[in-house]
């Protein structure tokens, strides 16, 4: 019968070699005209002739999943199970690139891990173009090394699930394979040397400029900003921060700071109003309420001073204020969160809004999970 595996064939991965191709695809191949006409009674030699006539590779295409001739020949090879040296010959031949790919594909399906890496990796150097038939029937351009990379890294190609092989690192660690030596290694070494030489030359030229930039290097500014922001989130001490920053940026950035202060003050005023409204509706102890009032009074006083822009008075007041605030910190921890973050606040609000847009924060756990899956697939969240 035409579709039975050669009785002398060995079983691959514990089963009939033809079972490497799953049932639906297998039946599609058996019903295919190309299989029935051209692949009947093929032997290893006549198979080579048929392989030389190939002009594209691919899986199934079209609405009813028609297999390509490439698929049919792969199936035929699984059926007759040629010897390993014949397959290696297919791979080694240089003239016919589709014969090479056919051999490589068959070896990936049936060969051992070591064989797969040993015979397929040299094919990385082959840059020839290939024609690939996509699932909608159109052709696409690909290259030999791209196909080999797919075979070695992915686990699904041409509509066939590729058997799992061990990773290269595992094989190297047990010693069956040597570490991979890329053909481009020499080129990489040359490039590295070139880069090093360039760096050395560059350092000699721009020393002065570098020093200047080191003084105000972006990294240090970033650290400063980060430290400043982290304190804001704790929502105490921003006055102390302000002083620290003030001292540091005395030379250059005072203008910037002043502007930022102004913004901060504006934000704080807004917050104060908001907080006042909010606080009115909250159940509080007398202690906290008293403390809040004191804090607000102090803030007003602080702003007045800032408006004066008197450095000395501000500093001394800040010191006393921070001391008194230390005392109050223990009490404040129980009071509601107060945010006077200035420019950070709108940013944080935006982040919160974005998360909610994603829908993964929905109270119903089923919908939240569904939205998470949809986000992972790249779909928009559910419209409720």
Among 60, 68, 110, 318, binds another protein (CB under 8 A): 60
Which of 7, 41, 63, 175 is the binder for another protein (CB under 8 A)?
A: 63
Long-range contacts of 214-221 (CB under 8 A, 24+ apart): 216/252
**Which residue in 9, 52, 88, 367 binds another protein (CB under 8 A)?**
367
Site membership for another protein, residue 135 (CB under 8 A)? yes
Region of 13-21, 174-182, 197-205, 368-376 interacting with another protein (CB under 8 A): 368-376
Tell me which of 46, 125, 155, 156 binds another protein, using CB under 8 A.
Answer: 156
Q: Which stretch binds another protein (CB under 8 A): 114-122, 171-179, 257-265, 365-373?
A: 365-373
Q: Does 348 bind another protein (CB under 8 A)?
A: no
Segment contacting another protein (CB under 8 A): 114-122, 206-214, 231-239, 376-384? 376-384
| Least CB distance to another protein at residue 292 (A) | 44
- Least gap, CB of 71 to another protein (angstroms): 14
Q: How many residues bind another protein (CB under 8 A)?
A: 18
Distance (Å, whole) CA 193 – CA 200: 11
CA nearest neighbour of 107 among 132, 126, 90, 127 = 90
Q: Give the binding site for another protein (CB under 8 A).
A: 24, 60, 63, 65, 135, 156, 159, 366-367, 370, 373-374, 377, 379-380, 382-384
């Amino acid at each position: 019968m035409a579709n039975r595996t050669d009785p002398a064939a060995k079983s691959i991965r514990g089963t009939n070699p033809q079972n490497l191709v799953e049932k639906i695809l297998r039946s599609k191949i058996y019903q295919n005209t190309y299989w029935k006409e051209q692949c009947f009674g093929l032997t290893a030699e006549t198979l080579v002739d048929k392989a030389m006539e190939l002009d594209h590779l691919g899986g199934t295409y079209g609405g009813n999943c028609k297999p390509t001739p490439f698929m049919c020949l792969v199936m035929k090879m699984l059926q007759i199970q040629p010897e390993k040296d014949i397959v290696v010959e297919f791979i080694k031949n240089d003239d016919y690139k589709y014969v090479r790919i056919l051999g490589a594909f068959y070896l990936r399906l049936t060969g051992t891990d070591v064989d797969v890496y040993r015979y397929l990796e040299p094919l990385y150097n082959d840059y020839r173009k290939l024609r690939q038939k996509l699932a909608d029937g159109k052709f696409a351009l690909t290259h030999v090394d791209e196909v080999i990379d797919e075979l070695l890294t992915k686990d699904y190609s041409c509509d066939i699930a590729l058997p799992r092989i061990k990773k290269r690192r595992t094989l190297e660690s047990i010693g069956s394979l040597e570490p991979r030596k890329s053909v481009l290694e020499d080129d990489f070494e040359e490039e590295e040397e070139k880069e090093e030489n360039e760096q050395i030359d560059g350092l000699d030229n721009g020393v002065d400029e570098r020093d200047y930039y080191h003084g105000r290097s972006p990294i240090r500014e970033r650290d400063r900003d980060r430290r400043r922001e982290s304190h804001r989130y704790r929502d105490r001490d921003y006055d102390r921060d302000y002083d620290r920053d003030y001292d540091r940026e005395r030379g250059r950035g005072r203008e910037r700071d002043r502007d930022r202060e102004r913004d901060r003050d504006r934000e704080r005023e807004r917050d104060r109003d908001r907080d006042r409204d909010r606080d009115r509706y909250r159940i509080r102890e007398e202690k906290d309420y008293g403390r809040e009032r004191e804090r607000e009074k102090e803030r007003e006083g602080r702003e007045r001073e800032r408006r004066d822009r008197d450095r000395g008075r501000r500093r001394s007041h800040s010191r006393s204020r921070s001391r008194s605030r230390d005392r109050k910190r223990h009490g404040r921890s129980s009071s509601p969160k107060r945010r006077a973050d200035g420019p950070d606040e709108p940013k944080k609000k935006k982040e919160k809004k974005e998360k909610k847009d994603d829908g993964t924060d929905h109270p119903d756990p089923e919908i939240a999970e569904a939205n998470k899956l949809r986000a992972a697939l790249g779909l928009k969240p559910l419209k409720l």
